[in-house]
């Protein structure tokens, strides 16, 4: 039996995705196939909503359940499955296998899209960081408390994210000195629906990156009626740890320090990782995006031609990407 939390929509989607993956790539006995198909159909029906679009693996599962529903007549879903012959079970499995190519294509498309997003993202953040002598780069992870996850659907998630984005783009509160931002929407096996947020703040107006991150988390809890949970990446302990590794790219970042600039871009690149398909949203409102970023507009003031400022040219999105790819290559050795 596949172990998954079926009490919340994100958990159900992940369980279905895992079920399809196991069926396509491993040997699942017929008894386990029927058992999991029935329990996951019941869980899926509990969270069924109009106006949603699903990942290819979920669509494969839906195709099987729709076929069962078209054949079972007056029998319950479970009763119909219980009476199937081995040949009829194989026919259901063939429906799943017919979607293998679509799933493979979706994974490839995801990687290509993330790579393109990553380039645009790093160029956006490079411009914002280089536009000011010193900025604050802030990273926050936003999710929901364990006790509240069963109450949160993907529509709720998008509604909460929409309210947060309104605050960000309207530059209210802690966002009054915002230069740009990026937010990636994902789902995971333990955190359910969650978001990774990165901000670039003009340091001339705010001094404490930790305080701003805490303020964002407080606002998230307010938006979600205290169902939200936040993780502040800009803690002293985290920054000290990153510094020891030579990877400090959050907090106070100076454009004239190439290592800081490259590290900051490396930190934000995490939001558009082409290898994170397993954390992509498996369900979302039809037509909605899973990635948002700001639109930084340069202030137009020339940067003084000093020896220190010439160091700005020593780092950019391309060097940051090259450094990141080198680190990934070494990790795979």
pLDDT tens-digit readout, 77-112? 999 999 999 999 999 999 999 999 999 999 999 999
Q: Is residue 117 located within the same domain as residue 257?
A: yes
Whether 186 and 291 map to the same domain: the answer is: yes
- Give me the residues of the chain with pLDDT under 50, please: 1, 329-333
In a domain, 207, yes or no: yes
> What confidence score (pLDDT) does residue 22 get?
97
Examine residue 151 and state whether it is found in any structural domain, yes or no.
yes
Range of the domain at 306: 112-331
Of 72, 98, 124, the domain-final residue: 98
Asked if residue 2 is part of any domain, the answer here is: no
For residues 89 and 233, membership in a common domain is answered with no
Residues 171 and 73 in one domain: no
* Rg (alpha carbons) of the chain, rounded to whole number: 23
Answer yes or no: is 3 within a domain: no
* Strand-pair partners of 246: none
For residue 325, being part of any structural domain is answered with yes
**Structural domain contains residue 107:** no
Inter-CA distances, 88 with 38, 85, 92, 305, Å: 15, 5, 7, 76
Q: What is residue 322's predicted lDDT score, i.e. its pLDDT? A: 87
> Among the three residues 41, 71, 98, which one is the final residue of a domain in this structure?
98
What's the predicted TM-score (pTM) here? 0.93
Residue 193 has φ and ψ, to the nearest 5°, of -70, 130
Residue 55 is assigned to a structural domain of this protein: yes
Q: Are residues 278 and 204 in the same domain?
A: yes
Q: Are residues 81 and 120 in the same domain?
A: no
Domain end point (choices 98, 121, 149): 98
Q: Are residues 289 and 150 in the same domain?
A: yes
- Report if residue 306 sits inside a domain: yes
**Cα 240 to Cα 237: distance, rounded to the nearest angstrom:** 5
* Tally of structural domains, the chain: 2
Residues 46 and 116 in one domain: no
Q: Do residues 17 and 65 share a domain? A: yes
Both 69 and 122 in a single domain?
Answer: no
Domain shared by 19 and 152, yes or no: no
């Amino acid at each position: 039996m596949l172990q998954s939390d079926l009490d919340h929509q994100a958990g159900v989607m992940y369980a279905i995705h895992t079920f399809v993956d196991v069926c396509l790539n491993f040997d699942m006995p017929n008894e386990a196939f029927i058992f999991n198909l029935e329990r996951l159909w019941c869980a899926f029906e509990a969270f069924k909503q109009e106006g949603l679009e699903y990942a290819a693996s979920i669509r494969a599962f839906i195709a099987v359940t729709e076929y069962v529903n078209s054949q079972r007549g007056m029998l319950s879903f479970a009763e119909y499955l219980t009476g199937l012959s081995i040949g009829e079970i194989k026919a259901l499995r063939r429906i799943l296998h017919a979607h293998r190519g679509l799933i493979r294509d979706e994974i490839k498309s995801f990687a290509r899209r993330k790579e393109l997003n990553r380039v645009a993202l790093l160029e956006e953040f490079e411009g914002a960081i280089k536009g000011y002598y010193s900025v604050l780069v802030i990273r926050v992870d936003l999710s929901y408390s364990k006790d509240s996850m069963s109450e949160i659907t993907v529509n709720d998630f998008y509604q909460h994210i929409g309210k947060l984005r309104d605050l960000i783009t309207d530059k209210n509160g802690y966002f009054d000195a915002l230069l740009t931002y990026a937010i990636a929407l994902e789902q995971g096996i333990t955190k359910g629906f969650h978001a990774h947020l990165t901000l670039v703040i003009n340091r001339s107006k705010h001094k404490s990156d930790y305080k701003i991150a805490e303020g964002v988390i407080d606002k998230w809890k307010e938006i979600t009626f205290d169902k939200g949970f936040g993780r502040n990446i800009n803690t002293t302990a985290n920054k000290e740890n990153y510094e020891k590794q030579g990877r400090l790219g959050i907090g106070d970042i100076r454009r004239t320090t190439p290592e800081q600039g490259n590290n900051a871009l490396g930190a934000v690149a995490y939001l558009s990782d082409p290898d994170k398909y397993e954390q992509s949203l498996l369900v979302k409102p039809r037509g909605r995006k899973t990635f948002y970023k700001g639109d930084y507009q340069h202030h137009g003031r020339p940067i003084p031609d000093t020896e220190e400022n010439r160091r700005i040219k020593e780092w950019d999105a391309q060097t940051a990407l090259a450094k990141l790819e080198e680190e990934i290559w070494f990790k795979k050795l």
